[in-house]
Structure 1
Amino acid sequence: MAFDAARGFWRTVNSTYGITRLVSFGKEPTAVPLDLVSQLMLRCDAKGKLLPPKLLKPGDQVTLTKGPFANFVAEVEKIAPDRRVWVLMELMGGQTRVAVGADQLRSI
């Protein structure tokens, strides 16, 4: 069943046990981007419980999820204290070192 915010029944959802509140910007509920929902679902176990993010370490194989190198496979070289991750990527026959945010990587 689809949720219809225009009908005004969303206030009762906020009082449902287990729900803190609907996502909203202002007074009305707002749709969450499907990409965000998909990424959260990938981090859930078989019962739908959100798992903590896997901590990366040097040598891990990762896929870049955003930017011009999206879907490229890389190897974690180093992780800086500011959560910037240095990865090694195979580009045009050689290895290239690239710095990306940890939120742009998915372990494989």
Structure 2
Amino acid sequence: EKIARVLVPTEKVVEVRNKQKRETEQKFFPGYVLVEMELTDETWHLVRSTPKVTGFVGSGSKPVALPADQVDEIVRNMEAGAEKPKPKSVFQRGDKVRVIDGPFVNFQGVVEDMNPERGRMKVVVPVFGRPTSVELEYYQVERL
């Protein structure tokens, strides 16, 4: 028909709660929905009257079509994320954390660096009174 495809760009992420790894979906353009459609007054009003739709990408009220290569890239990113979920990062450099698993359990430290692709981070903790950088997985720490 006139509306060919509706797409909410999401990716799978792995988050850890209570030491359990869990896959969830996360929107990578929160608030955006991609709609492939023939633009007519009828389809414009249909989309515009959809609950929670507040506007369109573009200037004013007239939507602007995304180039096909950008849409293809978004779809490729979604497919790649479905094949290999990324760890969900809830930490930033400088965050104060407590180690909750592993040999440094109950140590407190500061996030020094993060590697989201591997789901690991470097945390500076005091060992024998000296700041020491240790590499931990996301699930091994909690934010203070």
Higher Rg? 2
Which fold has the larger relative contact order, with Cα–Cα distance below 8 Å and residues 6 or more apart in sequence?
Answer: 2
